[in-house]
Amino acid sequence: MNLPDPAVVLDLIEAFRRSKTMFTAVRLGVFDRLRKGPAGTSQMAIEMSINAGALERLLDGCAALGLLSKEGGVYRNQPVAEHYLCADGPHTLRGYIVYSDDALYPMWNHLEDAVREGKPRWKHTFGIEGDIFSGFFRSEAAMRDFLHGMHEFGMLTSPAVATAFDLSRFRRIVDLGGATGHLAMAACERYPEMRGVVFDLQRVVRMAATPHERVEFLAGDFFEDELPSGDLYAMGRILHDWCEEKIQRLLARIFAKLPAGGAVLIAEMLLEDDGVGPVPANMQSLNMLVVAEGRERSLPEYRRLLEGAGFAHVEGKRTGLTLDAVLAVKG
């Protein structure tokens, strides 16, 4: 009897171990220490007050994962660690890693119940009642980690989203739920005639507003308050948070505010038309089951929602990164 190759099953059995190895090394400051210079286990263990034998296993694990190099008992950061895993790296993802470790990792332990009930797991994991942002913003530290994580993720994806379509005809982009404004800023940097507005909750604006000569920050709730005027509205990783009823309500508000010829730009992971793949989009859709009331969608699903709100000429572009782009125009 020829058995199928068990490699995919064996890989998935231990996949969480690789994630947790990286998370732990980041939290302990391993990559930050090695950014200062190469070092051996004994030296690092003394400096970091860590058990030397256990630290060596962690360092060797990181080396096996390609995050460190090891030669003659001396460890060095690989370029990928220098860029993405150090707190002051040029494109650090530390905030998203801390958020994943503190919030997502424990919440995914309740995925089975989330699938059974179809509801997020904030209450079951942290005892938190209220809307999804009661969880994301459950403390100042949690809010900071979440916003830093979204910013770091956005710095990698927003330039590609801003260039997926020719947006040169638009003059004022309104970034709804834009936090630090990375998407609006990427668009303004690409299109010299464009100006931007970031519209987000007061507590987010207070913490996340980033000075930029062509982007202003305004506080408000995009479901309830008057939307700022603009001819291009943008939403990056916003619609996947919400159920269809709320999406329809938000799109109707945007459509009513836009002038003729105005448009909406959506940045989300696009599923394939049949819902299977790409793998990161499927995993993110499960993540939204655990943490929110929304999910990831395919381009036909977004087209249905947008056309139902009155938009036309709905186009989708895959960027090659973890967020894709959809553009729809008000006729």
pTM for the whole thing? 0.93
Q: What is the pLDDT of residue 286?
A: 98
Which residue reads 């009661």 in tokens? 134
Tens of pLDDT, residues 266-321: 999 999 999 999 999 999 999 999 999 999 999 999 999 999 999 999 999 999 99
Task: Give the torsion through C-alpha atoms of 77, 78, 81, 87, to 10 deg.
Answer: 40
Cβ neighbours, 10 Å, residue 43? 15
Q: Which two three-digit tokens encode residue 285?
A: 């859709």
The residues of the chain that CATH labels 3.40.50.150 are 160-330
pLDDT at 54 (0 to 100): 98
Round the average pLDDT of the chain to a whole number and report it.
Answer: 95
Q: What is the pLDDT of residues 58-80, one digit of tens each?
A: 999 999 999 999 999 999 999 99
Q: Average pLDDT for residues 97-124, to the nearest whole number?
A: 94
Q: Which CATH number fits domain 7-84: 3.20.20.10, 1.10.10.10, 3.30.559.10, 1.10.1040.10?
A: 1.10.10.10
Instruction: Label residue 69 exposed, middle or buried (CB < 10 Å: 0-12, 13-18, 19+).
Output: middle
pLDDT over 80 at 136, yes or no: no
Closest of 172, 199, 150, 181 to residue 323, by C-alpha: 150
* Nearest of 180, 159, 166, 294 to residue 232 by alpha carbon: 166
User: Can you tell me the distance from the alpha carbon of 197 to that of 228, in angstroms, rounded to the nearest whole number?
Assistant: 8
- Give the tens place of pLDDT for each residue, 239-281: 999 999 999 999 999 999 999 999 999 999 999 999 999 999 9
State which H helix or E strand residue 26 sits in: helix 7-28
Of all residues in the chain, the percent with pLDDT exceeding 70 is: 99
Residues with a catalytic annotation lie at 240
Which residue in the block uniquely carries the two structure tokens 């030296």? 43
Q: What are phi and psi of 112, to 5 degrees?
A: -55, -45
Tell the CATH superfamily of the 160-330 domain: Vaccinia Virus protein VP39 (3.40.50.150)
Six-digit token pair at 253? Answer: 């508000």
How many C-alpha atoms does 108 have within 13 Å on its Cβ side? 14
pLDDT at 131 over 80: no
DSSP symbol at 241: G
